[in-house]
Amino acid sequence: MYDIQKMTLRDMSECGLALRRLGDDALTMEEVSNNIIQYLNQNFIDSSSHEKACVLIRFFKTHSYRELTPDLQEYASQILKDRIVSDNLKCLTLLATAGELPEWNSRYQSVGHKAIPLVDADAIARIPMISQLIQQLGIDTGTVVQPDPTFLADLEQKMYNVFYVPNASGSPYIPSQTAFVAPFNVKSVLGFGGLLPSGNIFSILMFLKVFIPPSVLDLFRPLALSIKMAILPFDDGYIFKEDIQSKINAEIADKNQNKSSQYLNSQIATLNQLLDVSEKSTITQSDRLEDAIANLHQVLDKLQNTQIQLIQNEKMSSLSQMIAGIAHEINNPVNFIQANVSYTEEYTESLLKLVKLYQQKYPNPSVEIQQIIKQIELDFMTSDLKAILKSMKLGTERIRNIVISLRNFSRLDEAEFKTVDIHSGIDSTLMILQHRLKENNNNYSEINIVKNYGEFPQIECYPGQMNQVFMNILSNAIDALELGVGEAFKSQNPQISISTQAIDQKGIAITIADNGVGMTEAVMSKLFNPFFTTKPVGKGTGLGLSISYQIVVEKHCGEIICHSQPGQGTKFTIKIPIRNFHG
């Protein structure tokens, strides 16, 4: 079965092969045409409804009046009324039919199309469907009425065309609009056919429930040639089944064996042509395939980019949300402690003053009091309490600063361009990474941060996104330093240097350099590729730098450059404009 709207090259080849074989066991032109019509009717479907695509499908062929059966001759003469009928008069004969109504499944039951005499060009012109069909097939109506044997051989090979009426409803070429087109919901009409060596034309007309795209129409040209191949042996043979009823099979076999040279020539020419047309179809279809593949690649790239952004945004936004949440939770108790520390200081001072006064006024206290003074080491406690309170004040101050940094880093509220101090972004990111910089249980030595910040105005940027870039580059630097861990490395003093400077009036540069393991050229060449990572599964996703590249280059019209050598550390330089780059 073939989805008629989405016919492929494969469908065309398969269908062509099947059609060419439909004449193998047939004895008459009528039989082969019936086989063809049945095959097309059964196998072309409308995939949206899973029904047959044809409302009605018919096979027409022209024959001379003398070739018709007596009942068809009578039918044709009735149409011509009192005109004199010549033996050579061409009649368009219905040879096979199939369709939704029972009466559309037998040529004998056709009312208007059993055999239409094509008296002259004018007569043909009066039957719009037929004249349009002949025109679309590329033949002169004169050739149909009176085939000229001299031109025929050449013409026969040119003639295979596809005729299509895209909008059956209201089309002047399709009669019976109210009785046929509308009630049976005929959307379009597809016709294809050709010219035979005898000068007769054949044509298949499909009245369809669907529309067919132009790319599919092309595929019917080779099918027309395959049908011609199937019927060719019968062009000079028996037409109707009535023709053979009186003859014996041996005679038929004999006839089939002695194929005329005209028939053989036509067969070779048609095969050549079929090859030609099929090859052209293959080229066109493979061009389409190439285009489709190229399009798919583009879509895939886009999808991959979107996916990267989604993953990274998700990662960052959950990190930011968590940090913002923690900052918020810490903020309240810290404020509470800070506010109370000064009272505690004040009250303690008053209490100590009181104790001192007691000591002055009562220099000789009881033994019990003396014992307690000794036990609690009053003098030491008095001096230490002040120091403790001072460090508590300092501690809360630090926690407050940390909270400010956490908030600064998460910047949930700032998804748009803001003018910010880029240094506070770097500092807050370092703050978040503080735990990885310290000497820790994993044997990693403390990483020394060397800052060298330049003087320049505030930068217009997406602050949250720039922090994301610092986070990615600094985490990579820490990873690279941790990789170099070991005795030899320890003596090298792991270090990250961060420097910033104005390049000119318009832009600034931020350099982040580490003295970690460095990179080979092979790694460098893939550095910014999405999903490129040298880290073990679960440690790296390979997205950090590709997203940083997008943020710096695409979102901030900047540059991100990397210098590195194995064992020599790595230096990333980010350049971004100070403002106005977003237009």
Ligand X SMILES: Nc1ncnc2c1ncn2[C@@H]1O[C@H](COP(=O)(O)OP(=O)(O)OP(=O)(O)O)[C@@H](O)[C@H]1O
Report the length, in residues, of the chain: 583
The residue within the footprint of ligand X, chosen from 128, 138, 540, 577 (CB under 6 A), is 540
> Which of residues 224 and 478 has its CB atom nearest to ligand X in the complex?
478
Binding status of residue 534 toward ligand X by CB under 6 A: yes
> Which of residues 476 and 570 has its CB atom nearest to Mg ion in the complex?
476
**146 class by beta-carbon count within 10 Å (0-12 exposed, 13-18 middle, 19+ buried):** middle
Stretch that binds Mg ion, among 172-180, 334-342, 384-392, 476-484 (CB under 5 A): 476-484
Q: Helix (H, G, I), strand (E, B), or coil: what is residue 337?
A: helix
Residue nearest to ligand X (CB): 544
CB 54 within 8 A of CB 44: yes
Task: With both helix axes pointing from N to C terminus, report the angle between 261-361 and 378-410 in degrees, rounded to the nearest 10.
Answer: 160
Instruction: Give least dist CB 317 to ligand X, A.
Output: 15
Q: Nearest 5°: phi and psi at 181?
A: -55, -55
Residue type, 493: N
Angle at 407 between CA 405 and CA 409, to 5 degrees: 70
Instruction: Give least dist CB 477 to Mg ion, A.
Output: 10
CB 526 within 8 A of CB 532: yes
Binding status of residue 477 toward ligand X by CB under 6 A: yes
Binding status of residue 467 toward ligand X by CB under 6 A: no
Stretch that binds ligand X, among 169-177, 301-309, 401-409, 512-520 (CB under 6 A): 512-520
Binding status of residue 203 toward Mg ion by CB under 5 A: no
Instruction: Give least dist CB 429 to ligand X, A.
Output: 14
Binding status of residue 535 toward ligand X by CB under 6 A: yes
Contacts of 128 (CB under 8 A, 6+ apart): 172, 173, 175
Instruction: Give least dist CB 519 to ligand X, A.
Output: 5
Size of the site for ligand X (CB under 6 A): 23
519 binds, among ligand X, Mg ion, none (CB under 5 to 8 A by kind): ligand X
Q: Helix (H, G, I), strand (E, B), or coil: what is residue 498?
A: strand
Binding status of residue 570 toward Mg ion by CB under 5 A: no
> Which of residues 132 and 550 has its CB atom nearest to ligand X in the complex?
550
The residue within the footprint of ligand X, chosen from 41, 472, 500, 550 (CB under 6 A), is 472
The residue within the footprint of Mg ion, chosen from 233, 544, 558, 569 (CB under 5 A), is 544
Pairing type for strands 188-195 and 418-420 reads unpaired
What are 303's two structure tokens? 């999808």
Instruction: Give least dist CB 559 to ligand X, A.
Output: 17
Instruction: Give least dist CB 566 to ligand X, A.
Output: 9
> Which of residues 425 and 544 has its CB atom nearest to ligand X in the complex?
544
Binding status of residue 144 toward ligand X by CB under 6 A: no
The residue within the footprint of ligand X, chosen from 330, 523, 553, 557 (CB under 6 A), is 523
Stretch that binds ligand X, among 75-83, 409-417, 439-447, 536-544 (CB under 6 A): 536-544
Binding status of residue 173 toward ligand X by CB under 6 A: no
Stretch that binds ligand X, among 25-33, 344-352, 446-454, 469-477 (CB under 6 A): 469-477
Residue type, 582: H
The residue within the footprint of ligand X, chosen from 157, 458, 533, 573 (CB under 6 A), is 533
Per-residue CA distances from 556 to 460, 480, 551, 559, 577 (Å): 9, 27, 6, 9, 8
- Cα pseudo-dihedral 297, 301, 303, 305, rounded to 10: 180
Instruction: Give least dist CB 475 to Mg ion, A.
Output: 6
Cα 441 off chain centre by: 49
Instruction: Give least dist CB 273 to ligand X, A.
Output: 58
Binding status of residue 546 toward Mg ion by CB under 5 A: no
32-43 burial by CB neighbour count: b if 16+ within 10 A, else e?
bbbbbbebbbeb
Which residue, among 313, 500, 322, 326, has the nearest Cα to 404 in the 3D structure?
326
- Cα pseudo-dihedral 193, 196, 198, 202, rounded to 10: -20
Binding status of residue 313 toward ligand X by CB under 6 A: no
Instruction: Give least dist CB 464 to ligand X, A.
Output: 17
The residue within the footprint of ligand X, chosen from 129, 199, 570, 578 (CB under 6 A), is 570
CB 473 within 8 A of CB 548: yes
Angle at 321 between CA 527 and CA 313, to 5 degrees: 30
Instruction: Give least dist CB 543 to Mg ion, A.
Output: 7
The residue within the footprint of Mg ion, chosen from 476, 500, 515, 550 (CB under 5 A), is 476
- Using alpha carbons only, how large is the chain's radius of gyration in Å? 46
**Cα–Cα distance for residue pair 246/254, rounded to 1 Å:** 16
Binding status of residue 471 toward ligand X by CB under 6 A: no
Stretch that binds ligand X, among 122-130, 318-326, 427-435, 476-484 (CB under 6 A): 476-484
The residue within the footprint of ligand X, chosen from 231, 308, 334, 517 (CB under 6 A), is 517
Pairing type for strands 201-208 and 188-195 reads antiparallel
Binding status of residue 233 toward Mg ion by CB under 5 A: no
> Which of residues 16 and 518 has its CB atom nearest to Mg ion in the complex?
518
Residue nearest to Mg ion (CB): 544
Q: What is the DSSP string of 394-453?
A: HHHHHHHHHHHHHHHHH-TT--S-EEE-HHHHHHHHHHHTHHHHS--TTSPPPPEEEEE-
92 binds, among Mg ion, ligand X, none (CB under 5 to 8 A by kind): none
Residue type, 524: M
Greatest pairwise CA separation for the chain in angstroms: 159
Query: Restricting to residues 149-168, which ones interact with Mg ion according to CB under 5 A?
Result: none
**154 class by beta-carbon count within 10 Å (0-12 exposed, 13-18 middle, 19+ buried):** exposed
Binding status of residue 530 toward Mg ion by CB under 5 A: no
> Which of residues 544 and 558 has its CB atom nearest to Mg ion in the complex?
544
Binding status of residue 47 toward ligand X by CB under 6 A: no
> Which of residues 68 and 545 has its CB atom nearest to ligand X in the complex?
545
Q: Nearest 5°: phi and psi at 241?
A: -65, -25
Residues that bind Mg ion (CB under 5 A): 476, 544
Residues that bind ligand X (CB under 6 A): 472, 476-477, 480, 514, 516-519, 523, 527, 532-535, 540-546, 570
